[in-house]
Copies of this chain bind each other. A is one copy, B any other.
Amino acid sequence: MEKERKPKNIFVQGPISSEKIAQSIANHASKTDIGGHSIFLGQIRADEKPEGKVVAIDYTAYEEMALEKAFEIREAIFAKYPLTCMHIYHSLGEIKVGEICLFVFTSSKHRKAAMQACDELVERIKAELPIWGKEILDTEGHVWKVNT
């Protein structure tokens, strides 16, 4: 079901629910050539900044460019690893502390490909997609998130 190669939307308004994750996992029960799934979830952390404590992150993106780039990354990862499926979801808008903002999901016949592809996808998503996080503080102020 993932083999047709066309850009697909990765953006979700608001947090990613655990029900959505469960549904996505359940959808793969019919793919009997899958032996392993690797999942990464990004969750909003209550970081302490000099200016205050993070209560939420407000995500914005240059959506058209991000989708083009995400498609390019998908193609590269599919070419590099023998994957059965790959799913990427990133939140837009305000995501509160404890909520999920990123969901990366790879599946393959043998576990190593799924795991390595998942790690690499997360790194590339953070480094290459034009997405910005504004960290909302409990002091009413904000700071711009910096990826390390």
A93 within 8 A of B: no
A45 touches B37 (CB 8 A): no
Q: In the complex, how many angstroms separate the beta carbon of A103 from the nearest chain B beta carbon? A: 10
Contacting B at CB under 8 A, from A7-36, are 18-19, 21-23, 25-26, 28-36
Tell me, rounded to whole Å, the shortest Cβ–Cβ distance linking A125 to chain B: 11
Known: A22-B19, A45-B109. A98 touches B39 (CB 8 A): no
Q: Distance (Å) between the CB of A54 and the closest chain B CB?
A: 9
The count of identical subunits is 2
The interface residues of chain A, by DSSP majority, are classed as: mixed
User: By the criterion CB–CB under 8 Å, are B42 and A35 in contact?
Assistant: yes
A119 at the interface (CB under 8 A from B): yes
**Set of chain B residues within 8 Å of A46, measured between Cβ atoms:** 32-33
- Whole-angstrom CA separation of A23 from B22 in the bound complex: 9
- What chain B residues lie within 8 Å of A23 (beta carbons)? 18
Cross-chain contact B42 with A36 (CB below 8 angstroms): yes
Report which of B19, B35, B44, B97 forms a contact with A43, defined as CB distance below 8 A: B35
User: Which residues does A use to contact B, with CB under 8 Å?
Assistant: 18-19, 21-23, 25-26, 28-46, 97-100, 107, 109, 111, 114-115, 118-119, 122
